[in-house]
Structures are given as C-alpha cells and as structure tokens.
Amino acid sequence: MASPATSTGSTKVDAVVQKVAANTPEKLSGVQLYSRFALAGAICCSVTHGGLTPVDVVKTRIQLDPATYNKGLIGGFRQVIAKEGAGALLTGFGPTAAGYFLQGAFKFGGYELFKQQSINLLGYETASNNRTAVYLASAGLAEFFADIALCPLEATRIRLVSEPTYANGLIGGFSKMLKNEGIGAFYAGFGPILLKQVPYTMTKFVVYEKVAEAIYGYVDKSKASDGMQTTINLGSGLVAGMAAAVVSQPADTMLSKINKTQGLPGQGITSRLITIAKELGLKGSFTGLPARLFMVGTLTAGQFAIYGDVKKALGATGGVEIAKN
C-alpha cells in the first residue's frame, strides 16, 4: 500500500493531489505484469498464425512437393482448392492456433522477462549501451523455452498438412502420433525448429527494436497518438518479419521435410537432418521463400501491432525500455 502523500500546506491542493493519485492506475510489476505480457503475446501469435493458416498450408505443400506445387503462391492456392476443395486450406488450423498461443506466451513474456533480468544484472546504463546484445540474448532464451511448448503441436500440424487423410483435426492427429510413434516423434523436429525459430526470433526482435527506435528518433513517442504507435508497430514489424523470414528459411524447409513422414527404423534425427540437407542443397533450402516472405512479414507486422494494443488494454505498461529515443 502506498504511503500517504506529504501535505502541501493547502487543503485544496492536497485534495486535488489525492484525487489524481486515486485515479492513477497502479504500475504493475512482477507476476501481474509479466503474465499480461505473456497473455498479450499468446493472443497476438495465435490470432496471426491462425489467420494465416491457408498461406502456411500452401507454403508447406510447396516445400514438401515442389515438383507438383511449382506455380508460386497464387498458383498453389488454386492447385490445393482444385484438388481438395477450399476446406483444405484450413488444414492444421487447430494445432496452429493452439501451438502458437503457447509459443507466443513464452516468446513475448519471456523476452520481456529476460530483458528486465539483463537490465537488473548489468545496470540500466550498461544494458542500454549494449542493447543489441540484450535484445539478442533475451529473444534467444525466450524462444528456446517457447519451442519446447510449440514443437509437439507443430509436428502434428505438419503431419496433417502433408498427409490430409492422416487424422481428423488436432486431437486425432496428436493422439495418433503419440500412440503409433511415441512422444519422441513430437520432438523429431526440435533441432530444426530451434535452428529455425531461435535465429528468426532474435532477428525479429532486434530488427523491430532498431527500426522502431529509428522512427521514434523523428517522432516524439510521448506525443504520438495510439493510431500512430500502432502504425509504427506495423511498419517496424513488417521489416522485422521479412528479415527474419530470410534468416530462418533453410531450417523451416528442413522442419517441414523431417515432420512429413516417420523416419526409417534405426535412423537417428541427426542422420535424417544430414540426408535432408544434402538432398535440398542451398537452392532447395530456400524453396517457398516468396510465400514465406509474404506470410511472415504480414504476421509479424500484425503481431507487434496487436501485442502493443493488447498490452495497453491490459495495463501492462510497467516494462523498462532501453532504446535511446
């Protein structure tokens, strides 16, 4: 509980001060603050990834069967609809929405938490002077824990997309994989998902922070309207997403390949990854990049815009910023 305000010597002024203090929302901290960051992250990731499920379906088909799906993103949409109907574009929606809800909570909540811990450890001035390193370390650590939660649902999603008749939805696909292949099947792609998601997230947050910082060098953040701040979040997120897509594309292709089918008896994950990498080559590892640039650029822009707005709605404004604006 806050201590009583010191008297100004004027009962009228004291009354005004007390009224303002009573109407000023308490600054959140600890679990109250970071749980809100996590919820905002969960919402923004689930909404954006779930909404872009059709693009992800086409992107995954292009990666898994480039010989058939060789007409680009728009052509891929037409091929999927012609062969399987429009409903096929929502294949994997359940595991996508659920998986990225969990991942978003760990990713955004963890990023804010680890960033604050870095500030506590290094001191504000040192952290601010070395903020790129702080952003990278915080994002990498957050993503590691996020991927532990995401991996089983991502494996289920890819299996459903690559084999449309495998099961009917999230629960059916998850249960079938668990029963037939064991829990290890869900983490067969853990290596590739780390190789994909950790560089992706590190790039995403660093580029976003840098672009936003550059923009706020010309725009007074304290005077910017909510609409202006949302627009800046969108623009910064778009640039960040496209940069992150390029960095993480090879691992994304390998992840799709390794989760497409069950490995051969006695074949380890490492040997499977080596085989896939040799088969793909450098050019093959960037298969589906145009579709992914569109998808990741769009969803990352949406994520940062939604994240910023949801944080405000939840009153999660207690984080410490180290950008020099």
pLDDT tens-digit profile, the chain (325 residues): 444 445 545 564 455 445 544 444 466 778 889 999 999 999 999 999 898 889 888 887 887 788 888 888 889 899 999 988 998 898 878 888 888 899 999 999 999 999 999 999 999 999 999 999 999 999 999 999 999 988 888 888 888 877 878 888 788 888 999 888 888 888 887 887 887 789 999 999 999 999 999 999 899 888 889 899 999 999 999 999 999 988 888 777 776 676 565 665 656 666 776 777 777 776 677 777 887 788 789 889 999 999 999 999 998 876 667 877 6
Would you tell me how many other CB atoms lie within 10 Å of the CB of residue 100? 28
Q: According to the model, what pLDDT value does residue 302 have?
A: 94
In a domain, 8, yes or no: no
Please state, in angstroms and rounded to a whole number, the distance separating the CA atoms of residues 237 and 210: 11
C-alpha torsion angle, residues 174, 90, 301, 100 (rounded to 10): -10
Q: Which stretches of 85-181 are DSSP H helices?
A: 93-122, 124-129, 131-162, 169-181
Phi-psi bin for 31: left (phi > 0), alpha (psi -120 to 50), beta? alpha
Question: Which residue, 78, 25, 11, is CA-closest to 313?
Answer: 25
* Dihedrals phi, psi of 26, to nearest 5 degrees: -70, 135
For residues 249 and 257, the answer to whether their CB atoms sit within 8 Å is no
Q: What is the pLDDT of residues 41-93, one digit of tens each?
A: 999 999 998 988 898 888 878 877 888 888 888 898 999 999 889 988 988 78
Q: According to the model, what pLDDT value does residue 214 have?
A: 93
In a domain, 322, yes or no: no
Taking all residues of the chain, what is their mean pLDDT, rounded to a whole number? Answer: 83
Domain span at residue 86 reads: 29-314
In a domain, 4, yes or no: no
DSSP, res 2: P
C-alpha torsion angle, residues 152, 157, 160, 161 (rounded to 10): -150
Would you tell me how many other CB atoms lie within 10 Å of the CB of residue 54? 18
In a domain, 20, yes or no: no
In a domain, 268, yes or no: yes
In a domain, 207, yes or no: yes
Total count of domains within the chain: 1
In a domain, 106, yes or no: yes
The helix or strand, by DSSP H or E, that contains position 39, with its residue range, turns out to be helix 30-51
Tokens of 292: 């992914």
In a domain, 72, yes or no: yes
Tokens of 94: 């359940």
Which distant-in-sequence residues (6+ apart) come within 8 Å of 65 by Cβ? none
Spell out the long-range contacts of 212-221 with Cβ–Cβ below 8 A and sequence spacing 24 or more. Answer: 212/236, 212/323, 213/323, 213/324, 213/325, 216/323, 216/325, 217/325, 221/325
Identity of the residue numbered 25: P
CATH number, domain with residue 154: 1.50.40.10
- The label of the residue with tokens 């029963």 reads 179
